[in-house]
């Protein structure tokens, strides 16, 4: 039996969800993919209107391995996921009257899912009637001007996996969603980026050390962090940040004709300096401990990434909440 098309898979999921939603939420206007520090946005939804669905209960919905974590481990991942909202699709009103759907937790390509599978929720959003998608993530900073804790509004990307053939639009084109060869030169909506900058000025004090930038995001499939040489290569190619999500979702959103705002939180600075040489005469008398200290300098550490996300969570949540309200103020 032939596998159902991505359109058919998304349609089945929507047909499962829609009858269980009150009429005002059957057609949300905005979808938010909650990455680092934004799981708490689920708590900003009007409690009286909130409707939640476990990913595992939704037909064809990709489930992240993070959704299988024990309660103890969930606490370590709370920059991504809020206990009680682990691996859930949350519907409700943001602001006073904006129908929204939030993905709290996402499946990643590095977990073994196909590109088509991890982007299926975006196609579901299109069928639900979503007009705008906000995508967020944690990233490594390649641009030396970026500090840990800064926020980056994405204005372009390098899709290294896509260039090598791992692309969410590979295969028969889903004509129900978009054209065979969608342009991406306008992928990152200029008006929405302007809205994000204005929202930042409203919610983050001018004296704050945390800054907002615009930049280019490089997608790597992961799950290993990038080597020094890879970081230098991506920086020379024009990338300001690097991460393991977001770009496939953005490509599918644009294929579907939805507007996109993408925000990254810099959680670590990538190591751009070359590795020390084993024949460096200055290191010949160094102890093993001293050598390890030199090599480990700047190395990505998952626990530090998590902690940075916790510290920046408040500003990120305020930014997204204000930006959403401002988008629909007119």
Catalytically active residues, by annotation: 36, 85, 108, 110-111, 138, 244-245, 268, 302
Joined tokens for residue 317: 């949540």
Joined tokens for residue 297: 């300098």
Distance CA 310, CA 304 (A): 10
Distance CA 74, CA 245 (A): 20
Joined tokens for residue 82: 């809020």
Q: Is 80 exposed, middle or buried (0-12, 13-18, 19+ CB in 10 A)?
A: buried
The three-state (H, E, C) secondary structure of the chain, written as one string: CCCCCHHHHHHHHHHHHHHHCCHHHCCCCEEEEECCCCHHHHHHCCCCCCEEEEHHHCCCCCCCHHHHCCHHHHHHCCCCCCCCCCCEEEEEEECCCEEEEEEECCCCHHHCCCHHHHCHHHHHHHHHCCCEEEEEEEEEECCCCCCCCCEEEEEEEEEHHHHCCCCCCCCCCCCCCCCCCCCCCCCCCHHHHHHHHHHHHHHCCCCCCCCEEEEEEEECCCCCCCCHHHHHHHHHCCCCEEECCCHHHHHHHHHCCCEEEEEEEEEEECCCCCCCCCCCHHHCCCCHHHHHHHHHCCCCCHHHHHHHHHHHHHHHHHHHHHHHHHHCCC
């Amino acid at each position: 039996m032939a596998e159902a098309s991505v359109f058919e898979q998304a349609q089945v999921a929507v047909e499962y969800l829609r009858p269980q939603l009150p009429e005002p939420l059957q057609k949300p206007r905005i979808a938010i993919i909650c990455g680092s520090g934004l799981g708490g946005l689920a708590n900003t939804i009007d409690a009286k209107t909130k409707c939640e669905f476990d990913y595992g209960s939704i037909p064809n919905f990709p489930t992240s391995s993070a959704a299988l974590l024990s309660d103890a481990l969930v606490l370590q991942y709370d920059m991504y996921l809020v206990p009680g909202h682990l691996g859930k699709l949350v519907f409700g009103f943001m602001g006073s009257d904006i129908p929204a759907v939030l993905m709290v937790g996402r499946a990643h390509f590095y977990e073994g899912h196909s590109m088509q599978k991890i982007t299926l929720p975006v196609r579901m959003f299109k069928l639900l009637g979503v007009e705008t998608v906000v995508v967020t993530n944690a990233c490594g900073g390649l641009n030396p001007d970026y500090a840990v804790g800064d926020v980056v509004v994405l204005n372009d990307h390098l899709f290294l996996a896509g260039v090598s053939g791992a692309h969410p639009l590979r295969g028969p084109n889903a004509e129900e969603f978009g054209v065979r060869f969608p342009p991406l030169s306008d992928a990152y909506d200029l008006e929405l980026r302007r809205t994000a900058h204005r929202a930042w000025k409203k919610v983050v004090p001018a004296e704050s050390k945390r800054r907002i930038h615009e930049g280019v995001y490089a997608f790597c499939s992961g799950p290993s962090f990038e080597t020094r040489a890879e970081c230098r290569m991506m920086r020379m190619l024009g990338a300001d940040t690097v991460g393991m999500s977001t770009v496939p979702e953005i490509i599918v959103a644009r294929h579907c004709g939805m507007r996109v705002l993408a925000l990254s939180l810099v959680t670590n600075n990538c190591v751009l300096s070359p590795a020390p040489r084993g024949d460096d005469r200055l290191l010949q008398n160094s102890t093993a401990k001293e050598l390890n200290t030199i090599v480990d300098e700047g190395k990505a550490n998952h626990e530090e990434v998590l902690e940075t996300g916790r510290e920046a969570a408040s500003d990120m949540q305020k930014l997204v909440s204000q930006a959403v309200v401002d988008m629909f103020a007119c």
